[in-house]
Amino acid sequence: MTQTAAIGPRSSEPAEPPTFRHFIAGEWCDSTSGATFESHNPADTRDVIGRFQQGTPADVAMAIRAAADAGAMWRRTPAPKRGEILYRFGALMAEHKERLSRAMTREMGKVIAEARGDVQEGIDIAFLMAGEGRRMFGDTVPSELPDKWAMSIRQPIGVAGIITPWNFPIAIPCWKMMPALVAGNTVVFKPASDTPHCATLLVELMAEAGFPAGSVNLVTGAGGEVGDAIVDNPDVGVISFTGSSDTGRHIATRAGRKLKRLSLELGGKNAIVVMSDADLDLATDGILWSAFGTTGQRCTAASRVVVERAAVEPLMQRLERRARTLRLGSGLDESIDVGPLINAGAVDKVAGYIEVGRREGELVLGGEPARDGELANGHFFSPTIFRDVMPMDRIAQEEIFGPVLSVIPVDDYPAAVTAVNQTRYGLSSSIFTTDANTAFRAMRDFETGIVYINAGTTGAETHLPFGGWKETGNGHREAGHAALDTFTEWKAIYVDFSGRLQRAQIDNQ
Ligand code: UN1
Q: How confident is the model over 239-254, as pLDDT tens digits?
A: 999 999 999 999 999 9
Taking each helix axis from N to C end, the angle separating 97-108 and 79-95, rounded to the nearest 10 degrees, works out to 70
Q: Domain containing 139: what range? A: 16-266
CA–CA dist 27, 219 (Å, integer): 12
Residue 302 one-letter amino acid: A
Same domain, 248 and 292: no
CA distances from 405 to 97, 189, 340, 389 (A): 32, 34, 17, 10
Q: For position 14, what pLDDT does the model report?
A: 63
Same domain, 305 and 175: no
Q: For position 3, what pLDDT does the model report?
A: 47
Q: For position 2, what pLDDT does the model report?
A: 43
Q: Establish if 4 belongs to a structural domain.
A: no
What is the biggest distance separating any 2 CA atoms in the chain, rounded to whole angstroms? Answer: 86
C-alpha dihedral sign at 106, 287, 264, 343: negative
CA of 434 to the centre of ligand 1 (A): 26
Distance of CA 165 to the CA centre of its chain: 7
Of 413, 435, 453, which marks where a domain is finished? 453
Q: Which of 114, 121, 225, 265 is catalytic?
A: 265
CA–CA dist 417, 442 (Å, integer): 8
Same domain, 261 and 364: no
Same domain, 128 and 204: yes
207 lines ligand 1 (CB under 6 A): no
CA–CA dist 503, 490 (Å, integer): 23
Q: Name the residue of 110, 195, 401, 458 to mutate for ligand 1: max ligand atoms within 8 A of Cβ.
A: 458
Q: Contact, 162 vs 170, CB < 8 A?
A: no
Q: Contact, 497 vs 483, CB < 8 A?
A: no
Same domain, 286 and 320: yes
Q: For position 156, what pLDDT does the model report?
A: 98
CA–CA dist 14, 326 (Å, integer): 31
Same domain, 184 and 298: no
Q: Establish if 462 belongs to a structural domain.
A: no
Q: Establish if 216 belongs to a structural domain.
A: yes
> What CATH number corresponds to the domain at position 125?
3.40.605.10
Q: Contact, 457 vs 253, CB < 8 A?
A: no
Q: For position 15, what pLDDT does the model report?
A: 77
Q: Establish if 65 belongs to a structural domain.
A: yes
247 lines ligand 1 (CB under 6 A): no
| Residue ranges of the chain with per-residue pLDDT less than 70 | 1-14, 509
CA–CA dist 76, 273 (Å, integer): 50
Q: Contact, 15 vs 50, CB < 8 A?
A: no
Nearest to 395 by CA among 404, 403, 425: 404
Q: Provide the number of structural domains found in the chain.
A: 2
Q: Establish if 42 belongs to a structural domain.
A: yes
472 lines ligand 1 (CB under 6 A): no
Residue 174 is a catalytic residue:
no
428 lines ligand 1 (CB under 6 A): no
460 lines ligand 1 (CB under 6 A): yes
Q: For position 508, what pLDDT does the model report?
A: 76
110 lines ligand 1 (CB under 6 A): no
Q: Which of 114, 204, 299, 360 is catalytic?
A: 299
CA–CA dist 162, 172 (Å, integer): 10
Of 209, 240, 266, which marks where a domain is finished? 266
Q: Name the residue of 298, 400, 457 to mutate for ligand 1: max ligand atoms within 8 A of Cβ.
A: 298
Same domain, 110 and 252: yes
CA–CA dist 405, 392 (Å, integer): 14
Q: Where are the alpha helices (DSSP H) in 392-480?
A: 413-421, 436-445
What's 309-340 look like in SS3? HHHHHHHHHHHHHHHHCCCECCCCCCCCCECC
Same domain, 426 and 309: yes
Q: Establish if 126 belongs to a structural domain.
A: yes
Phi, psi (degrees; rounded to nearest 5) at 110 = -65, 150
Same domain, 189 and 284: no
Q: Contact, 216 vs 207, CB < 8 A?
A: yes
CA–CA dist 35, 19 (Å, integer): 11
Residue 265 is a catalytic residue:
yes
CA–CA dist 241, 478 (Å, integer): 11
Q: Establish if 3 belongs to a structural domain.
A: no
CA–CA dist 280, 278 (Å, integer): 6
Same domain, 285 and 252: no
Of 266, 289, 305, which marks where a domain is finished? 266
Q: Bridge-partner residues for 29, per DSSP?
A: 22
> What CATH number corresponds to the domain at position 416?
3.40.309.10
Same domain, 197 and 120: yes
CA of 13 to the centre of ligand 1 (A): 38
Q: Name the residue of 299, 303, 448, 461 to mutate for ligand 1: max ligand atoms within 8 A of Cβ.
A: 299
Same domain, 102 and 130: yes
Q: Establish if 296 belongs to a structural domain.
A: yes
Measured at the alpha carbon of residue 457, what is the angle toward residues 173 and 338, in degrees to the nearest 5?
75
Q: Where are the alpha helices (DSSP H) in 258-308?
A: 280-292
